[in-house]
Amino acid sequence: MKHLFKSSMLTAILASAFSVMMPVAYAVEDATAASPHTLTTNIGFFTDYTYRGISLARERSAVQGGIDYSHSSGLYLGTWATNVNKQALYGNTIELDIYGGYVHTLADQLDLNVGFMHYFYPDNYRPVSNTGDKGASPNTTELNAALTYKHFTLKHSYTVSNFFGINDNYGGNGGSRGSGYTELNVNYKLPFADINLALHVGRQVVHNYSKANYVDWLVGLNKDFAIGSSAGWNAGLNYTTTNADDGWYVDANNWETGNDRLIGYIKRSF
């Protein structure tokens, strides 16, 4: 599960152009070429890992990083990983996300993004119900679509697999394929100190399991900066909370994972 703004719009970025000087005798203008391919990497250190407002690191810090490829046509593909607390997600300790899609400009400052997201857990430990019955694999696949206009992004994700292993064996109400998450994100640069404002609200609906439905909110501030000649740094602080059912969203030790919390982080993109 990727952190809250990892699933927002990816835009194709052209690499910087280079020019080759030609001898004056040939009277040929300088040639300029630009690659349509862009490859970026990122790494970050967080005081917690929350997925849609639910803590999956139990406020014990998380190291997260990824690699992203984008093409000037709008196509993109990426992978991202984080540690998770084994008590919070059925005993799994690693999450690996694979995602991709296509961004298309519909009008001035209006973009459409369609894509997929696959959450993969190499440990593959499955949810176990109170009766001892095992659920499905926690690996989950979603399709998504988003519209971005200026500072606003409206996105919906639709699960085409069981939702993190919830099926009839685990919950008793059938499968959870068809679950959905709708979110609105706002990212706005404030007119002072180059501070970025982040706002988020989302609603998770788990098919056949209404007790697992909830709403989450986030408000945060962050700042892009450089350390000497090293650019690409960002640090911030987020406050997040949910109205998730404490009887459902608890870890193996009955620690409530949907409560409010402050999350600090620092990360760098290369």
Helix (H) and strand (E) counts in the chain: 1, 16
Using the predicted structure, report yes or no on whether residue 24 has a pLDDT greater than 80.
no
Domain 39-269 CATH (choose: 3.30.350.10, 2.40.160.40, 3.40.47.10, 2.60.120.260) = 2.40.160.40
Which one-letter DSSP state was computed for residue 256? B
End-to-end CA distance of the chain, in Å?
22
Per DSSP, the three-state class of 109 is coil
pLDDT category at 131 given cuts 50, 70, 90 is confident
What is the domain partition of the chain in residue ranges?
39-269
The residue to which tokens 């788990």 are assigned:
206
Give pLDDT, residue 32.
55
Using the predicted structure, report yes or no on whether residue 192 has a pLDDT greater than 90.
no
Give pLDDT, residue 21.
35
Using the predicted structure, report yes or no on whether residue 16 has a pLDDT greater than 50.
no
Distance (Å, whole) CA 215 – CA 221: 21
Burial (Cβ within 10 Å: 0-12, 13-18, ≥19) of residue 29: exposed
Residue range 198-252, pLDDT digits in tens: 999 999 999 999 999 999 999 999 999 998 888 999 999 999 999 999 999 998 8
Global confidence as pTM: 0.85
Give pLDDT, residue 193.
86
Quick count: other Cβ atoms within 10 Å of Cβ 216?
23
Residue range 97-117, pLDDT digits in tens: 999 999 999 999 999 999 999
Helices (H), 148-189: 168-171
Average confidence score pLDDT of the chain:
88
Write phi, then psi, for 168 (nearest 5 degrees). -65, -35
